[in-house]
Amino acid sequence: MMRKTLRAAAMTAVAIPAIVMAAGAANAQDDTFKVGMAVGGNPCCDWMKAQGDVARALAEQRGWEYLELSNNNDPAVAVQNAQIFAQEGVDVVIQFNGQPSSNPAVAQILGAANIPAITYDIAQEGMYFVGIDNLAAGIAGGEALGQIVKERWNCEPDLVISAEGAVAGIVNEWRTGGMRTGLKNVCPDIPEEKWVSFESQGDAAVGLPAARDLLASHPDAEKMAVVGLNDGGVLAAIQAAEQLGRAEEMIGWGQDGAFITGDNVNPHLVGSVFYFLEGYAVYAFRDIIDPIAAGNPPPVKWEAGDPASRVEPCPVTAEQAAEVPDMDERVEQLLAAPEGTTAFELFCPTA
Amino acid sequence: MSLDPAMAGTAASPPRLSLHGWGTPITLLAAWLLLIAATGIYRPDFLSHQTLLAITFTMAIVGVMAIGQALVAISGGFLDLSQPSALILSSLVAVRLAEAGLPLPLIVVAAVLTGMAWGCCNAAIIVFGKLNPVIVTLATNFIGLAALFLVFQLAQAPLGSGLHGLGRTAHLGLPAIWWPMVILILLVGFMLPRTRYGRRAIAVGGNKFAAKARGISLRATRFAAFTAAGGFVGFAAVLFAASSGPFNPASGNNLQLNVIAAVILAGISLAGGRGSLWMLLLSVGFLSTIPTALVFFGLSSDMQSIFQGFILLVAVAIDGYRARRNTP
């Protein structure tokens, strides 16, 4: 009995300091600035993963901790991720949420936990807005395409096709609608019946059958201009025209620059608008996170029109885009550049 | 034309075709013709070569995938829900080999073998683990999608390659990728009740206890069915990679419901042992015409999804009715 009591006392004597030391270590860890990142998680787009890679690299450069979760392009998962970030006690959260219906809940959870949050491209009250002015990017792309439509067809196309991506919500309205507005700015007299749409879901392969059906329902159209949510959606229409033997006079101008670089560019994709989405973290760190870490948090500017950090759109023709390196190369160069240098400054040929 | 499970036959006795089962093809053909006629009356330009191209392009991939799904269903495996992952994996192999400059025939062989390997994995888990095929293939589809997402984000056949050209050429005025689908459906539909493996698959699907009593190996038959089904998905992947343009790991998901609907509408019983693959030509044609027709009627893509879901519901109800009717 005595021996057992002694053993218990000895174990307690060893355990208590160990627990105290562990707690101390945990407290020491808590002192390290911790960045949480919720990537979009939509398999459509490799830039979503790259956004996380760049944020991780920038956090590591600063000696900070980094916790990355994926929103899986699912609003419910985005809310769960916000709860995890709150439980983990991160100091700041960055997110790209392609399903913005959950943004109010995410903002509420992070706000309750006093965690400053940065949202890319889709504005949400209470969260720092970093991103492109999607409407401006849409209009810029539409005007650039309009110039080509004016030069080639004297503003008299047979059809203007919109490759919609309804799931992107307001972003689709800004980009695709903005492109229509931009095109109308240059060619205001295109009759209403010539404007048609199909649901591309922002994915060339998924949108292809719908694009084929749309073209089949306009069998006489030859001079066709395509605008859309992104390059993938626009490509759906171009591929459909190729398959129906009607691509000769089709021209498309995309958004996001996903398919305008490299040696596999479709010749009918005549231009796109680069946002250099992979490099958004540079803006977020430079303008928001670094000041927060230094104890000087900037005011929360959450509106796209008056953002906490504005990303410049970079409209380019296919020829200009040929000068732009592919995304992996861009990420490499971006991380090697002096701190705070943006991808727009490094790579935009029209800057 | 449908194969009666009670008469499915064994290796010793060739199957007999009952001629009283014309209900499915007549109904399908009538519905298809009615749809074409109604759309043609509403919009006469529906009856054009452009429409024919649009529909036949849509038919090609779904049709070949439906052969694989039908084999699984007929052999009593119910459904293979991992087809989207198998399709994208095989498509990725096809694209990578095209990028390496390999000729198209080799690409086709590699993609088919990839699909068969996938089918083998499914079969091994189902047969040796004695697990439910639906749950297993649902799980392997999830695993496959996640793994593919780790491996690649986007892929597409190189411009100017043989693979890319295949998706844009036509023979006799119809897409080059449509003809293999028709030939395969006719060929497999002809061979299934006339070969030993085919008859065994039908027998196992119809009544596995009776099949076992006749000395048919349930394991080997199911293994063969899933492997063959994977091979067809591998071939569909070549057509997909050739025609779809840039694709990502999730690009095959949208095909799943259409394939299942085509199999059920064709009168192929999910309970196994019954159905003619030839009917797939009608069901795939009908299902591929619906979205095109709806566009001519000016309906939105949301309405198209409602229609497709509704048709699937009707098809499942018909399948359930058939199953109840055939239950003694």
Alpha-carbon span A45 to A203, nearest angstrom: 9
CA A50 to chain B, closest CA, distance in angstroms equals: 11
| CB atoms B50 and A244 under 8 Å | yes
Alpha-carbon span A226 to A240, nearest angstrom: 12
Centre a 10 Å sphere on the Cβ of residue A114 and count the other Cβ atoms it contains.
Answer: 8
Chain A residues with CB-CB distance to B158 below 8 A: 264
Chain B residues with CB-CB distance to A258 below 8 A: 154
Phi-psi region of A298 (alpha: psi -120 to 50; beta: other; left: phi over 0): beta
Centre a 10 Å sphere on the Cβ of residue A310 and count the other Cβ atoms it contains.
Answer: 18
Alpha-carbon span B231 to A126, nearest angstrom: 53
Distances (CA, A) of B236 to A67, B94, B181, B197, B284: 40, 11, 9, 22, 14
Centre a 10 Å sphere on the Cβ of residue B195 and count the other Cβ atoms it contains.
Answer: 13
Q: Which residue of A has its CA nearest to B50?
A: A216
| CB atoms B248 and A44 under 8 Å | yes
Q: What is the pLDDT of residues B193-231, one digit of tens each?
A: 899 888 888 888 888 788 888 888 888 998 999 999 999
Interface test with A, best of B244, B254, B257 (most A CBs within 10 A): B244
Contacts of B229 (CB under 8 A, 6+ apart): B67, B68, B69, B71, B72, B80, B119
Helices B255-265, B301-326: crossing angle, 10 deg rounding? 40
- Strands B170-171 vs B174-175: parallel, antiparallel or unpaired: antiparallel
Alpha-carbon span A229 to A46, nearest angstrom: 16
Element (H, E) at A307: strand A306-307
Centre a 10 Å sphere on the Cβ of residue B270 and count the other Cβ atoms it contains.
Answer: 24
Alpha-carbon span B200 to B186, nearest angstrom: 19
**Residue A39 in contact with residue A281, Cβ under 8 Å?**
no
| CB atoms A213 and B145 under 8 Å | no
Distances (CA, A) of A211 to A163, A198, A236, B159, B322: 8, 6, 6, 20, 37
**Which two three-digit tokens encode residue A4?**
């057992």
Alpha-carbon span A221 to A249, nearest angstrom: 10
Mean pLDDT (whole number) for B263-292: 89
Chain A residues with CB-CB distance to B243 below 8 A: 208, 239, 243
Strand ranges inside chain B, DSSP E: 170-171, 174-175
Alpha-carbon span A254 to A271, nearest angstrom: 6
Mean pLDDT, contiguous 10-residue spans, chain A (351 residues): 55 56 50 93 80 94 94 91 95 91 92 95 91 90 95 96 87 92 96 94 90 94 95 95 92 91 87 92 95 95 89 90 88 90 90 74
Model-level ipTM above the cut of 0.85: no
**Residue B227 in contact with residue B117, Cβ under 8 Å?**
no
pLDDT of residue B160: 86
Mean pLDDT (whole number) for B286-305: 84
Largest separation between any pair of C-alpha atoms in chain B: 58
Chain A residues with CB-CB distance to B247 below 8 A: 203-205
- The mean-pLDDT minimum among A26-30, A249-253, B10-14, B18-22 falls in B10-14
Interface test with B, best of A72, A159, A217, A261 (most B CBs within 10 A): A217
Q: What is the pLDDT of residues B130-142, one digit of tens each?
A: 899 999 999 999 9
For B91, what's the count of Cα atoms within 13 Å in the CB-facing half-sphere?
Answer: 34
Choice between B6 and B326, residue whose per-residue pLDDT is larger: B326
Largest separation between any pair of C-alpha atoms in chain A: 102
